[in-house]
Structure 1
């Protein structure tokens, strides 16, 4: 209620100022008559005629010939942002110009200003504006000032103006002393303003280093940007910073507006805690910052006029947004927002008065010409009050917090005294309980270690059982093949023995013809040629079975070094082949093994452990293929080896069901398994990971659901 009453009290004051400004702006006549000495600055802004050359190419003669000058009935001619050349005609009658009378154009940020005065029937030109260094001007000042050189009763002067900033034409005539007095007053006012800004800057930066509140830091940056912007707007930056460089001055003016706009929004966000109160409004303010940066980019790209047009609209939107933000957060009972809103309102009123002066609603006087400086100064002071009030809030909160802490401390002390006796009893009981728990935990740890050892042994037994089953199946096939060939071979041998006996039992004393006929009949019955071929075929099959049995025994011998702990040079390709032979019985009928072995040097490793890795990975691949929901006509197991520098790589890739990303992240964890209960211990891949890690290698997994899995093992050539 206190702040609302304050608002009601100051509102009539602002209305009174606006009424005075409106009353002071009365229309003037359109004729410049200097019938008295110009011992005061005479405002002739509403007694000129103007012409806008949109082509920006016409000369003075062409402009005079066109004769399209229009009288300016506004208090100040305002053309805003334009790429045109603006021509001003000034006609002075009934007066002989004194030798020290001057024409002052109070607009310091114009790129080009050319003053034409008549002399001996011709017009002479004097240049000013930012294209002329300040030290080269007749009056060393950022405002274009020209001597009125004429001695006739009626004299016509011309001005040509162009700029990439807004063009306003406040024109004054006065004597040298009057002009210098006005410049001195303006300089003093600006010096007071900059003194205020510097004071606020130093004071608040000191406060920041004292309290370490980020709001002060943002305020200091904002105050700096405000002072820098006013330096640019008042024309002081032209000579003091940019070194009379027109391009840098124009870009600096845009940069200063962007700078002050962004810092004001950042200070608003930090000081009012917008993100906490209105998160969506915080996002909106961030968008405004982005738009400011886009405008700066447009200006740097070579379009300063277009950039300033956009900045004019954006600045109005941002100013209103900041005030609305302050009001909205003040309604949340955040007291500093009250001073913040008042300070921004003062600045915005100053901007509005300055703009209304430019468009001719208010008259040009000390108050309207310095409205932005006054509003900005008031804003800086009131924002300091807001920050100071914030400290008072912090101080009050701290005192309340300390009082509450003291109260709680007193109560706690009482409770400590009352519970001290109980605490000792509780500690004793808790100690006994902890000792019992510790004993239980030690027992549980021992059981866990024993269980883990049993699970590891179980995994080894499972691998051994799988290996034994594979060996039994593989050996059984060739043995059955040999066994099945023995009986027909025995029968064929018996037939041959009987034939041989018939030849041995021939009696020469008897009829040889009948005996030989009987032998020939027997030969036809047993089909002797077939028996000979069959014997060859059966012997070949028995030899092949014996060879396959020998191959299995050789692979088993190569694989059986599971408990070897010493490293030795090993042919990894041979280990892979041995593993495939032992697991051949588990292959589905539609599986195709694709082996793509590279020329590998022997690798220093523990062969039994590496063979165990191959066994686990290939077994998992086969199970993944068998476990697919829908199998293909042909499934593949692709095994590839190659060398890269001082490392060898082994890739085992299947066309199985693949894994999700979630499963992939857990496959090397002990006891993790996707198999049904009783089908796996979940230690297989954990053991694989540990073996590869012990060999100073690493294993990578590439997988996608329904697209198979690839394990890539990397081993160093020499064990380190």
Structure 2
């Protein structure tokens, strides 16, 4: 209905609907666009339509901007005439239908429609006229789209919080908060918070809550980006600059709260410049080998494009009547949330790959050091034996102690699904076969699943003579046996409280090893 409207600016905000209806048509200016865009103004704007219904059905006007502070409607018709005061700062009960959008009943024979608007934010108003059936279909479609978007964001927030609790990675917590505030921003724009949470408290829609929610969305996006891209370490001066941007955004929102009219436009520009800087920094990080930045760039890229389109509609550069502007925030929010989730997961995988490579290198160097120590010990033994062809008993005991200590402190690599861990043989109580995997039981009663077979562990532990395979599925440390219970093969009681069966075929060897032969 935008192109059919005429508008009048009431700078005093005091004219009544009756006074406006008596003004001559020459006082009203035309609106060239399909979507009414009146920009940022402190005045109350009156819109006027001359309406003629050529159908046999009652018609309705639906205002598709759900967050306008004050809406005064004056309907003049052959079968209905009334004045209605509504908007988000007025009682929810004044609405014709209890939905997030404002609907005006025009009756079967409308003649004139006057609507007055006043809002501390930009006045962009898509308004449509139609019968009840297409109006209900439109409301239903928008509700389904918004429900889907909020549902996706809620699942992503839950998943991110679960990852934070599991991994204790601060990046996931910051991302969870960012997704939550992005969803709250959408719910605020679409009027669902008023509809669902505080119908009896219209003062909650005074613009302060909306500004604070959007401020938190910006601040959490800054904190998340700084943590995700590791800006504090790579570019500490840039991290300080982002802190300054956050302080600036807080100051702008405070200025808006105290009544500075242009603060809304300044805040939108701060948001846009900040988001564009995320793209620039992301490109720089990706070019320097930070692989997870690819999903980060895609997520922010789509989101920023949609935000830019919305801002261009506020400045009346493009129209509001196509999908990518009308559903711009929904499209940008769901794409950003999804792709940034991929980015965070990819970051975790990348860090794990780096840790795994570092561990493999450390294990390689450890093995080289052990070989060097063993070589030095062999040289020392040979030299001592050359000096004393018949070593004394004390010298033999010393050499044996050196060999035993070397075996005792030698690290055993335990590969897991995520990395390779190192333990000494004395840390292990028993090893239990589990197909091609094994479960390692430690002295502190902890367990670890290793991606190595029992046969491989047998080979690794072959020089540790205090390990014995008592069963095809059990390799035990003889030092941690507390009791042997006789039977067909027998049962071992271990220090960790477990019981391990001894196979009948190895019973004799086991008793001989333990010195329990009868």
TM-score by length of 2: 0.68
Change (3 A) 1:45 1:201: same
2:400 maps to which residue? none
Report the 3-state secondary structure (helix = DSSP H, G, I; strand = E; otherwise coil) of the residue aligned with 1:83: coil
1:479 maps to which residue? none
2:296 maps to which residue? 340
Change (3 A) 1:298 1:245: farther
The answer on whether the counterparts of 2:33 and 2:319 sit within 8 Å (CA) in structure 1 is no
Question: CA deviation digits over 1:555-614, x for unaligned, max 9?
Answer: xxxxxxxxxxxxxxxxxxxxxxxxxxxxxxxxxxxxxxxxxxxxxxxxxxxxxxxxxxxx
Separation in 2 of the partners of 1:297 and 1:65?
Answer: 39
1:255 maps to which residue? 212
Change (3 A) 1:244 1:76: farther
The answer on whether the counterparts of 1:164 and 1:304 sit within 8 Å (CA) in structure 2 is no
Gaps of 5+ in 2: 385-518
Separation in 2 of the partners of 1:201 and 1:143?
Answer: 27
Change (3 A) 1:231 1:256: same
The answer on whether the counterparts of 2:59 and 2:108 sit within 8 Å (CA) in structure 1 is no
2:398 maps to which residue? none
1:156 maps to which residue? 112
Q: Which has the higher helix share?
A: 1
For the pair 1:376 / 2:333, whether they are aligned, the reply is yes
2:36 maps to which residue? 77
For the pair 1:125 / 2:83, whether they are aligned, the reply is yes
For the pair 1:111 / 2:69, whether they are aligned, the reply is yes
Q: 1:244 deviation in Å?
A: 4.6
Q: 1:243 deviation in Å?
A: 4.2
Q: 1:124 deviation in Å?
A: 2.7
Change (3 A) 1:330 1:255: same
The answer on whether the counterparts of 1:76 and 1:360 sit within 8 Å (CA) in structure 2 is no
Q: 1:254 deviation in Å?
A: 0.6
2:359 maps to which residue? 402
The answer on whether the counterparts of 1:118 and 1:150 sit within 8 Å (CA) in structure 2 is no
- Give the length in aligned residue pairs: 379
2:308 maps to which residue? 352
Separation in 2 of the partners of 1:98 and 1:207?
Answer: 58
Separation in 2 of the partners of 1:306 and 1:245?
Answer: 27
Q: How does 1:122-201 map to 2 (within 5 A)?
A: 124-151=82-109, 155-201=111-157
For the pair 1:294 / 2:223, whether they are aligned, the reply is no
Q: 1:99 deviation in Å?
A: 4.7
Change (3 A) 1:66 1:285: farther
Gaps of 5+ in 1: 1-43, 427-720
Report the 3-state secondary structure (helix = DSSP H, G, I; strand = E; otherwise coil) of the residue aligned with 1:381: helix
Q: 1:127 deviation in Å?
A: 2.1
The answer on whether the counterparts of 1:97 and 1:148 sit within 8 Å (CA) in structure 2 is no
Report the 3-state secondary structure (helix = DSSP H, G, I; strand = E; otherwise coil) of the residue aligned with 1:415: helix
Q: Which has the higher strand share?
A: 2
Q: How does 1:610-649 map to 2 (within 5 A)?
A: none
Q: How does 1:513-532 map to 2 (within 5 A)?
A: none
1:303 maps to which residue? 259
Q: How does 1:679-698 map to 2 (within 5 A)?
A: none
Change (3 A) 1:294 1:193: same
Report the 3-state secondary structure (helix = DSSP H, G, I; strand = E; otherwise coil) of the residue aligned with 1:46: helix
Q: 1:135 deviation in Å?
A: 4.0
2:168 maps to which residue? 212
Report the 3-state secondary structure (helix = DSSP H, G, I; strand = E; otherwise coil) of the residue aligned with 1:115: strand
The answer on whether the counterparts of 2:310 and 2:325 sit within 8 Å (CA) in structure 1 is yes
The answer on whether the counterparts of 1:134 and 1:142 sit within 8 Å (CA) in structure 2 is no
1:573 maps to which residue? none
Q: 1:258 deviation in Å?
A: 0.6
The answer on whether the counterparts of 1:99 and 1:148 sit within 8 Å (CA) in structure 2 is no
Q: 1:165 deviation in Å?
A: 2.2
Question: CA deviation digits over 1:419-458, x for unaligned, max 9?
Answer: 23677999xxxxxxxxxxxxxxxxxxxxxxxxxxxxxxxx
Question: CA deviation digits over 1:466-488, x for unaligned, max 9?
Answer: xxxxxxxxxxxxxxxxxxxxxxx
Q: How does 1:20-39 map to 2 (within 5 A)?
A: none
Separation in 2 of the partners of 1:204 and 1:60?
Answer: 52
